[in-house]
Structure 1
Amino acid sequence: MSVTLCPRRSAVRLVAGVLVLVSLLAAALGATAFGVVSAGARGPAPDFSGRPLRVGVAWLPPPDTPDMRLYMEEGFELDLAAALARALSADLSLVRVAPEAAAHVLKAGEVDLVLTRASTEDPLRRHARVVETGFSSGLSLAMRSDRPLAGWSALQGRTVCVTEANAQGLALAVRLGAQVRVLRAPAQALMSVRTGECDAALHDRALLDPLFGKMSWQKFSATLPPMDPTDLVVAVAPDAAGLAEAVEGVLRPLATPQTWQARREKWASTVSFEVYRDQVAADCH
């Protein structure tokens, strides 16, 4: 049995076939071009076999001494810096960098990356490649529940404890006219609220929340709505695309909500234990 095709339909099918081939060819060419652009954007993979990974942080802990107590730090910059160095098979060199100087030191090549807190409007986001770590928080207070402050403006003239590493908290307390007491570690600041030496301690709300969930902190869990929210980010120089991609790869399994929840819970449990330890030691002398 023979089949006769309609000439018009044959022409339509021929044109359709040509269009499909053209589309496939264009897609292939586009994919190739995209691959070239992507490879160029990524840049070479970082190699730290001959030198350390230089990480800028806003605060450096004091040198270890035999008589010095160990404390949980205010934030997670030091832990993440160590994790990045391990993942990149590099020795770690920490460099103190003021947050406002981050873009400058990156451009000058003085550090490879900077771990810092940045708001959504921070100029750093326009002058560097910024990789999010998944941690965000505003600042809040820990106060006695039986005599809480009514609002942020009530901090004027009150004694507020902040830690050496909490530059953002220090700036907020000064801006609000508080009498600031700077202490070494979060446990020391929070213990000062329990002993009455400070009216409040200023920390990340994301870290205070799991602390306030503990029964032993119910009498000291008064707080205020968070202020000045920021994100913990890793910033690299604009032309360091390869390093930025490597950092993204390292952070991907470390930056899940579940991982950060576990870190926050560990922070709260450790700090709570340190407060208990120091308070018991003080009571015994």
Structure 2
Amino acid sequence: MSLILLPRRSAFRLLLGGVALAFLVAAALVAAGFAVVSAGARGPAPDFSSRPLRVGVGWLPPPDTPDMRLYVEEGFELDLAAALASALAAELRLVLVAPEAAEQALKAGEVDLVVTRAGAEDPLRRRARVVETGFSSGLSLAMRADRPLTAWSRLQGRIVCVTEANAHGLALAVRLGAQVRVLRAPAQALMLVRTGECDAALHDRALLDPLFGRMSWRKFSATLPPVEPTDLVVAVAPDDPGLAAAVEGALRPLSSPQTWQARREKWAATVSFEVYRDQVAADCH
């Protein structure tokens, strides 16, 4: 198991992608404090004044380097981790926890909570206190409109781009027999679809839809019906009801469809810009 205590620049990078999210959580805790206090019968409110909030995630961001480009991440796990730490007035410590190891990490006390994806029948839902975030999606593809694949089975032998953080997508592509190319960020994977180096890029359909609505993506908006839907959740140990209540109170104002629609649109706009930036830079060289 790996962990990282975020340096100042990394913490800023995580919060930059979710400024609205962090602001709303911080403001909401003032109002949500009554929810945490009223949950006192279910356990004491957490206190992280003397130690960091340890958040398990399935992927850790790479170390900062002076020449490193900033990219929006595949999903919202890191944004949520940063926002929750801010809301709980805690220093954030990210801990690498594979999705299948979430229950054990919570049980062993190696993390305080895990931000992960869970399907409807995921055992984690029965073995931990699971707080819903309001974000759900199945996996889908971005392809060139002039030569789309017509079925998921057609991915066999094709070059499919996935990101390092998209373990679910990687597993699906491997099962389907695709030639997988793993990239650092969504913009990089999607750019290779535009250049023809990848036959498809695999991402959440909930994030691809607003991207496909942009004029510049119409030629690259061929897709397939989404599969294997999961929800973004925060899992807390079953014996820590106080922390679960605090997390629930912090996330409550962020769970509306309107809030997530705005974040999806922002993700699409940022990724589209990053693809343009990288493609122009490549063309100039």
Same fold (TM over 0.5): yes
Deviation at 1:112, TM superposition (A): 0.1
1:237-277 alpha-carbon deviations (Å, 9 max, x no partner): 00110000000000011121111001000000000000000
Alignment correspondent of 2:10? none
| Counterpart Cα distance in 2 of 1:175 and 1:69 | 32
Q: After the TM superposition, which segments of 4 or more aligned residues of structure 1 sit over 6 Å from their partners? A: none
Relative to the length of structure 2, the TM-score reads 0.86
Alignment correspondent of 1:262? 262
Give the percent of matched residue pairs that are identical in Structure 1 and Structure 2. 85
SS in 2 for 1:217: helix
Match for 2:262: what amino acid? A
Alignment correspondent of 2:217? 217
Alignment correspondent of 1:159? 159
Match for 2:189: what amino acid? A
SS in 2 for 1:194: helix
1:119-146 alpha-carbon deviations (Å, 9 max, x no partner): 0000000110000000000000000001
| Counterpart Cα distance in 1 of 2:279 and 2:45 | 49
Match for 1:258: what amino acid? Q
| Counterpart Cα distance in 2 of 1:103 and 1:222 | 38
* Bigger radius of gyration among the two: 1
Alignment correspondent of 1:146? 146
1:203-242 alpha-carbon deviations (Å, 9 max, x no partner): 0000000000000000000000001000000000001100
Deviation at 1:39, TM superposition (A): 4.6
Alignment correspondent of 1:51? 51
Alignment correspondent of 2:12? none
Relative to the length of structure 1, the TM-score reads 0.86
* Kept in 1: contact 2:211–2:268 (CA 8 A): yes
| Counterpart Cα distance in 2 of 1:143 and 1:229 | 20
Work out whether 1:168 is the aligned partner of 2:173.
no
1:24-64 alpha-carbon deviations (Å, 9 max, x no partner): xxxxxxxxxxxxxx754x20000001100000000001011
Aligned length in residues: 248
| Counterpart Cα distance in 2 of 1:194 and 1:54 | 39
Alignment correspondent of 2:60? 60
Deviation at 1:113, TM superposition (A): 0.1
| Counterpart Cα distance in 2 of 1:169 and 1:64 | 25
Deviation at 1:155, TM superposition (A): 0.1
Alignment correspondent of 1:245? 245
* Kept in 1: contact 2:159–2:200 (CA 8 A): yes
Cα-Cα RMSD = 1.0
SS in 2 for 1:146: coil
Structural mapping, 1:33-182, within 5 Å: 39-40=40-41, 42-182=42-182
| Counterpart Cα distance in 1 of 2:40 and 2:61 | 39
Alignment correspondent of 1:274? 274
Match for 1:195: what amino acid? T
Match for 2:56: what amino acid? G
SS in 2 for 1:203: strand
| Counterpart Cα distance in 2 of 1:236 and 1:131 | 8
Deviation at 1:108, TM superposition (A): 0.6
1:145-202 alpha-carbon deviations (Å, 9 max, x no partner): 0110010000000000000000000000000000000000000000000000000000
Match for 1:174: what amino acid? V
SS in 2 for 1:280: helix
* Kept in 1: contact 2:131–2:235 (CA 8 A): yes
SS in 1 for 2:225: coil
Alignment correspondent of 2:184? 184
